Amino acid sequence: MGSHTELPLTRESVIGAHELIKPHIHLTPVQTNTTLSNLASTPQTAEALKGTPWEGQEPAKPKIKLFFKCENFQRIGAFKVRGAFHAVKRLIEAEGLEEVRRKGVVTHSSGNHAQALALAAKTFNIPAHIVMPKISTPSKIAGTQAQGAIVHFSGSTSQEREAVVEEVIKDTGATLVPPYDHPHIILGQGTMALELTEQASSLIKSEPALSVREGKTGLDAVIAPCGGGGMLAGNAVALHGTGVKVFAAEPSFEGGDDARRGVAAGERVTTVKTLTIADGLRTPLGEINWRFIADPSYVHSLYSVTEDNISDAMRLVLERMKCFVEPSAVVGLATILYNEDFRRLVEKEAGVEGWNIGVVFSGGNTTIEAITKIFAPVEGKKAEREEGVVGKDGKKVAENVAG
């Protein structure tokens, strides 16, 4: 996408993006859950901390009320339509609908962005070319094709995917709409933060007991998952200067916490090879997104959680909230419940008053089969491991094809 059409990455630009995409997206609900807020406000037991970096330490005692932004109820089942519609509409503004239709659009993605761009393109009758790894989940390939997109298959590495994209551009002249590292994508994704803060305030005004303390009518913080970082950077831009702190959550398995590690080292990690069950978070942090995520005035701090933390949080959401989510969606909640560094920070910074925290559920694009494997009994996991279905830690494995 041409740099001449790019907007400044500011809260005002996010507000403009929201106005532009409102007719094409769902206003997803913000939900609360007493059980999960109570769990977040209950110190972890000594038994639960065994085998963790905090074993033998005094558990944190934060006071927390949770507000969940349910993007699993968004069109195509994930937040990605926000960025896709915004990017496509800005492209139409810049070049004219007929010209965009003549050339078409192209991207590479194994799942949610693929379906999101396919839907946005179909809405305006624009040809969409989606490069997908051959080993992408069959349901995601079918979902992309169902939107009328032309699917081109590639290998699973980013280099293989990008090579096929270049071929498509050469053959068709299609405009690239990147999955996460572009200003228009970032601004589109950030629109959820505008909704989340407004919806949480409305809920508290109508029912003051939902707030962590009397007189507090809004959020103190928002925590979001981080893969390529477009959504996290978008939320950070949207909330910059509002007083609402932004935090990031990642899976730690096999170095999936590249953003956290990169920020700690002062240098962006450019390659990630992890088979975490949070498959939407397997991508390295984008270059533009890095500028915001590494800046503590935008993203306060970053945390990581284990595979067990993720599956435990997912079970709670499925069973207690009756809410269908994918593993990537719950890394923020897992951080709040199980990461003692984060819990101590809340206890220290919020004190006895506590915090109202917005939690982004990024999507719900998983299957019963995948969920069954995650929660399979240990014996079943052993048998599947021998067949190469799950990894050594008993978690489902898949090729590194996030996007």
Per-residue pLDDT of the chain (403 residues; tens, 9 = 90+): 644 457 899 999 999 999 999 999 999 999 999 999 999 999 999 999 999 999 999 999 999 999 999 999 999 999 999 999 999 999 999 999 999 999 999 999 877 899 999 999 999 999 999 999 887 778 788 888 999 999 999 987 778 888 999 999 999 999 999 988 899 999 999 999 999 999 999 999 999 999 999 989 999 999 999 999 999 999 999 999 999 999 999 999 998 999 999 999 999 998 888 889 998 888 889 999 999 999 999 999 999 999 999 999 999 999 999 999 999 999 999 999 999 999 999 999 998 899 999 999 999 988 888 899 999 875 444 444 344 444 444 444 443 334 5
DSSP letters for 136-193: S-HHHHHHHHHTT-EEEEE-SSHHHHHHHHHHHHHHH-PEE--SS-SHHHHHHHHHHH
384-to-91, 152, 283, 367, 390 alpha-carbon distances in Å: 47, 31, 26, 18, 6
Position 163 scores a pLDDT of 94
Position 105 scores a pLDDT of 97
Do the beta carbons of residue 124 and residue 92 sit within 8 Å?
yes
pTM of the model: 0.90
In angstroms, the first-to-last Cα distance of the chain is 18
Position 160 scores a pLDDT of 87
**11-77+182-386 and 79-176: identical CATH topology:** yes
Longest CA span, the chain: 65
Instruction: Show the beta-strand stretches assigned E in 6-75.
Output: 30-31, 64-70
Question: Tokens at residue 342, please?
Answer: 């984060």
Position 111 scores a pLDDT of 77
Q: Please name the fold of domain 11-77+182-386.
A: Rossmann fold (3.40.50)
Position 95 scores a pLDDT of 94
How is the chain split into domains, by residue range? 11-77+182-386, 79-176
The CA distance from 156 to 400, in Å, is: 7
Do the beta carbons of residue 208 and residue 214 sit within 8 Å?
yes
Tell me if the domain spanning 79-176 has CATH number 3.90.1150.10: no
Position 8 scores a pLDDT of 92
Coil, strand or helix at 29: coil
